[in-house]
Amino acid sequence: MRAVGRGAPRVVDYDVVVIGSGLAGLVAAAAAAAAGARVGVVAESFGGLAMWSGLVSGKAPAGDEELDAVRFFIEFGVRCGLEYGGCGGSRGAEGEAAREGMEVLSSSGRPVRCLLAPETVWAGDLRNWASSGMQADDGGLLVVGFTELEDYPAAVIAGQAAAETGVRTAHRTVSLGRAAGRGLGVRIAGLFDDPAWFEGFLEASRRLLGREARRFRAVALPPVLGLFRFRSNLEALRENLGTAVFELPAVPPSLPGMRFWHLWRWRLEADGRTTFHLGRRVVEADTHGDRCLAVSDGLTVYRAAAFVLATGGVAGRGLEVPPEAFFRLSKPTGALRPGQAPGGGPARPGERSVPVEPIFGLETCGRRTDWLSWGVRVQDSSRPCPTGGPANVFVAGWQLGGPEPDALLSITTGWQAGRAAADCREEGTQ
Ligand SMILES: Cc1cc2nc3c(=O)[nH]c(=O)nc-3n(C[C@H](O)[C@H](O)[C@H](O)COP(=O)(O)OP(=O)(O)OC[C@H]3O[C@@H](n4cnc5c(N)ncnc54)[C@H](O)[C@@H]3O)c2cc1C
């Protein structure tokens, strides 16, 4: 393994190195650290979390393993200060919330089904509001938009929600003032994280919305109520407006995804077992026989007893799709093996017809032009070692591909891979 820059590369040692800090990478790091490992996370960016509404979608967890993974996710989230669970505030620590799933009101005004949702969007079942006979002044939903945030048109959301749920709705749009700039969610969340600015917003909202808000069962706001102070802000707004207040799940770019990333990263760092190396793209691996000894970003060599590959598949840049593949994999039938041309015959020299895993050169499989279905082929999905790859490398998240990759896949496989990687350390020391 060589260094790209001048001189000898820096070498750092961990028990487990996690490549990627998306949902799967963070869960894997947390699981490995919880098992006592010293963990290094090496990642280029935060991955698909910027697109994530914050809702965990997927099929209900089937076996005990999946339920244990979901429980771990919920419990670690509580420690991070971002609770996940069922509508109406049920924490679901026993995994029951995820077994049953739930409905939340989406930012399109439609109720959508998911397995788990962050605490900020819990609002109860709107359809029950309608059937419980809530009328005029003792029920309904007030949708509040911000002039500067055009992605959340309060009138459209309120109209759709009324049509879909039968609940009485109304809408108001208020301005956040010049400080909100062009209305980028991250900038607005920064204002909500500023106690002095928020104090002014509370005062204005009491004046503009207070009397009206009390007549509604809940007020729905865009999901920008702070990257860090969202919980206390929500509480203050509830008290101030005299009714329930919740956020609508995000459209990209997603503040809830960013919240998740920051809070999990801080918790992991604060626990003292995990170190983050961010803005680093791993470019090569040092393997001997069936073991990986180290990976490198060209400047630093990261040695470990085991590695988690959580680089996100085609969407996360963990699999590279060459331009010729985009244009030539046009018939959506069957899976391709490396070296096989789209028509089924051998690939021409220099022609790569399938997504390539660039760090270890692992075998990939998937459904032709259905790019999200592509992933690294693994021997055993509950201990996801790559087929023919190093035995101490474990694959997690969308890097596994599959028919419908979702957040639940990242949670369950991140948890499995993190634990399996931590076990390797113990195997090595026996
Ligand atoms: C288009 C899109 C649609 C989505 N739809 C849904 C949905 O319907 N339901 C749902 O629940 N969730 C959805 N999500 C969010 C989704 O839950 C997460 O994005 C998903 O779980 C993937 O997580 P991951 O950790 O496997 O990969 P990613 O989040 O992609 O993370 C990959 C990580 O690997 C890093 N990386 C990649 N290559 C390297 C390298 N060589 N060296 C170092 N780091 C590297 C990236 O920087 C990143 O940190 C969607 C996301 C996207 C992008």
CB distance 277 to ligand 1 below 6 Å: no
Looking at per-residue pLDDT, the higher value among 279 and 184 belongs to: 279
- The average pLDDT across 355-363 equals 93
Q: Residue 382: its pLDDT value, please? A: 80
Q: Residue 89: its pLDDT value, please? A: 40
Q: Using an 8 Å Cβ cutoff, are 316 and 25 in contact?
A: no
Please name every residue paired with 308 in a beta bridge, in sequence order, or none if there are none: 18, 394
Residue 168 has pLDDT above 80, yes or no: yes
Residue 427 has pLDDT above 80, yes or no: no
**What tens digit of pLDDT does each residue of 82-102 get?**
999 853 344 444 445 555 678
Instruction: Tell how far the Cα of 82 is from the centroid of ligand 1, in angstroms.
Output: 20
Q: Residue 219: its pLDDT value, please? A: 95
Lowest pLDDT segment from 41-45, 156-160, 384-388: 384-388
Beta strands in 202-326 (DSSP E): 218-221, 244-247, 274-278, 284-288, 291-296, 300-303, 306-309
Q: Residue 428: its pLDDT value, please? A: 56
Q: Whole-number mean pLDDT of the chain?
A: 85
Query: Which helix H or strand E contains 196, and what residues bound it?
Result: helix 195-213
CB distance 187 to ligand 1 below 6 Å: no
Q: Residue 324: its pLDDT value, please? A: 58
Instruction: Tell how far the Cα of 313 is from the centroid of ligand 1, in angstroms.
Output: 8
- The average pLDDT across 259-267 equals 96
- Give me the percent of the chain exceeding a pLDDT of 90: 59
**What tens digit of pLDDT does each residue of 1-20 get?**
654 455 788 999 999 999 99
Residue 339 has pLDDT above 50, yes or no: no
Instruction: Tell how far the Cα of 56 is from the centroid of ligand 1, in angstroms.
Output: 13
CB distance 110 to ligand 1 below 6 Å: no
CB distance 23 to ligand 1 below 6 Å: yes
Instruction: Tell how far the Cα of 24 is from the centroid of ligand 1, in angstroms.
Output: 8
Superfamily of domain 10-52+258-320+355-429 in the CATH hierarchy: FAD/NAD(P)-binding domain (3.50.50.60)
Pocket-testing residue among 317, 319, 371, 374, ligand 1, by greatest number of atoms within 8 A of Cβ: 317
Residue 429 has pLDDT above 60, yes or no: no
Say if strands 291-296 and 284-288 run parallel, antiparallel, or are unpaired.
antiparallel
Pocket-testing residue among 410, 411, 412, 416, ligand 1, by greatest number of atoms within 8 A of Cβ: 410
CB distance 410 to ligand 1 below 6 Å: yes
Q: Using an 8 Å Cβ cutoff, are 397 and 20 in contact?
A: yes
What tokens were used for 129? 């509001």
Lowest pLDDT segment from 37-41, 88-92, 310-314, 375-379: 88-92
What tokens were used for 191? 């204002």
Q: Using an 8 Å Cβ cutoff, are 173 and 147 in contact?
A: yes
CB distance 282 to ligand 1 below 6 Å: yes
What tokens were used for 71? 């429980």
**What tens digit of pLDDT does each residue of 109-162 get?**
999 888 899 999 988 666 666 555 544 445 799 999 999 998 899 999 999 999
Pocket-testing residue among 23, 57, 373, 393, ligand 1, by greatest number of atoms within 8 A of Cβ: 23
Buried-state track 376-392, b at ≥16 Cβ within 10 A, e below 16: bbbeeeeebbbeebbeb
| Domains in the chain: boundaries | 10-52+258-320+355-429, 64-253, 323-353
Q: Which residue's CA lies nearest to atom 50 of ligand 1?
A: 52
Residue 235 has pLDDT above 60, yes or no: yes
Q: Residue 178: its pLDDT value, please? A: 87
Give the chain's length: 430
Looking at per-residue pLDDT, the higher value among 311 and 339 belongs to: 311
- The average pLDDT across 259-287 equals 97
Lowest pLDDT segment from 231-235, 309-313, 330-334: 330-334
Beta strands in 65-121 (DSSP E): 84-85, 102-105, 111-114, 117-118
- The average pLDDT across 307-311 equals 98
CB distance 317 to ligand 1 below 6 Å: yes
What is the atom index within ligand 1 of the atom nearest the CA of 311? 34
Residue 349 has pLDDT above 50, yes or no: no
CB distance 314 to ligand 1 below 6 Å: no
Instruction: Tell how far the Cα of 259 is from the centroid of ligand 1, in angstroms.
Output: 15
Q: Of the candidates 107, 106, 104, 112, which has an alpha carbon nearest to the alpha carbon of residue 85?
A: 104
**What tens digit of pLDDT does each residue of 219-232 get?**
999 999 999 999 99
Looking at per-residue pLDDT, the higher value among 22 and 53 belongs to: 22
Residue 277 has pLDDT above 60, yes or no: yes
What tokens were used for 374? 């592509």
- The average pLDDT across 305-333 equals 76
Q: Of the candidates 125, 53, 67, which has an alpha carbon nearest to the alpha carbon of residue 99?
A: 67
- The average pLDDT across 186-214 equals 93
Instruction: Tell how far the Cα of 52 is from the centroid of ligand 1, in angstroms.
Output: 9
